Amino acid sequence: MEEILEMLPDSLRDLICSPIKNPGALVEEVRVRVNRPLEIICGGKPKYPKTSLGDPYIVTFQDGIQLMNKLSQFSLYAFEEELKRGYITIKGGHRVGLAGKVITENGQVKAIKDVSSFNIRVARQKVGIAEPVAPILFRRRWMNTLIIGPPQSGKTTLLRDLARVASSGMPERNIPTSKVGIVDERSEIAGCIKGIPQHNLGSRIDVLDSCPKAEGVMMMIRSLSPEVIIVDEIGRQEDSEAILEAMNAGVQMIMTAHGYSIENVLKRPTIKRLLDIQLFDRFVEMSQNSSPSRIKRILDREFKVINFEKERAAT
């Protein structure tokens, strides 16, 4: 949280520090909305820091200006591309979503100005979270895997640690190191700042930051010779075509998709096409529960549930 606190105006920093210091408070988001109460999401529930008078603190226009200046390092021009995408990634891999007046040109977003809403998402790397499931996803090679889950179910957190495990290997489980390519379209997996990952992803990692998935997958295949490619949130037609191309080229893929279950994902035509031809070897379903492991179940390519504990013990 230190990187986030450094970015906040003084007026907000002290208000936010109190819930953060509470050991039971797991801060997920800080929502700063001009002329509205300051909001902190802890454990999925909103909290509203109060002033000395006991009233919720109302974010001022000046608070918004100061926060935007710090996020952009006092140069909005230098962050023009980030503003087109609607977010800025800061040191530590934290991502700040933006909302305000959207400027379009020829039907494309050109910029966001008059920013009035900031969603600061706290990035937490949970090193080791993928280690229990990794042996089930590796059989002499990494198996083509689709991680399925609703928002904030831990898909990206698991994906990030799988990237680390694939890059570093697990000698105790006979998993060797691999050349891993990450196509990080939303700068959320690696959390790059000036191209340098802010998370521990091992030494055999190459990252294409802020690159569209379909284009990035093909760039990886052509120039970086990855053994494993990792992408987040597939769903477009061009994503499916690039994934198919990569798998046919012998590259293993580990990726995520929004959904509540395999049955739910089957309703999405672009993903259903990949499932129908059995391109995936494993499916990992995630849930929004608050337990340390949010893995609900693991399925094989025929959608049969794998006995998680039995399979892990046998590897």
* Confidence grade of residue 45 (pLDDT, cut at 50, 70, 90): confident
The model's pTM: 0.79
> Can you tell me which residue has the tokens 């060797």?
176
According to CATH, what is the number of the domain 134-314?
3.40.50.300
- Predicted pLDDT of residue 284: 96
Is the pLDDT assigned to residue 46 strictly greater than 80?
Answer: yes
CB-CB contact of 94 with 198 (8 Å): no
What string of DSSP letters covers 206-228?
EEEET--HHHHHHHHHHHT--SE
- Predicted pLDDT of residue 290: 53
Is the pLDDT assigned to residue 189 strictly greater than 60?
Answer: yes
Choose between 252 and 91: higher pLDDT: 252
Q: In the chain, which residues fall in CATH 3.30.450? A: 2-121
> In angstroms, rounded to a whole number, what is the distance separating the alpha carbons of residues 154 and 138?
20
For the stretch 108-128, pLDDT in tens is 888 788 899 999 988 878 899
Q: Which residues contact 32 (CB under 8 A, 6 or more apart)?
A: 12, 38, 59, 63, 64, 67, 117, 118, 120
> Topology of 2-121 in CATH?
Beta-Lactamase (3.30.450)
For the stretch 229-246, pLDDT in tens is 999 999 889 999 999 999
Q: In the chain, which residues fall in CATH 3.40.50.300? A: 134-314
- Predicted pLDDT of residue 312: 56
* Confidence grade of residue 23 (pLDDT, cut at 50, 70, 90): very low
CB contact burial 300-310 (16+ within 10 A = b; e otherwise): eeeeeebebee
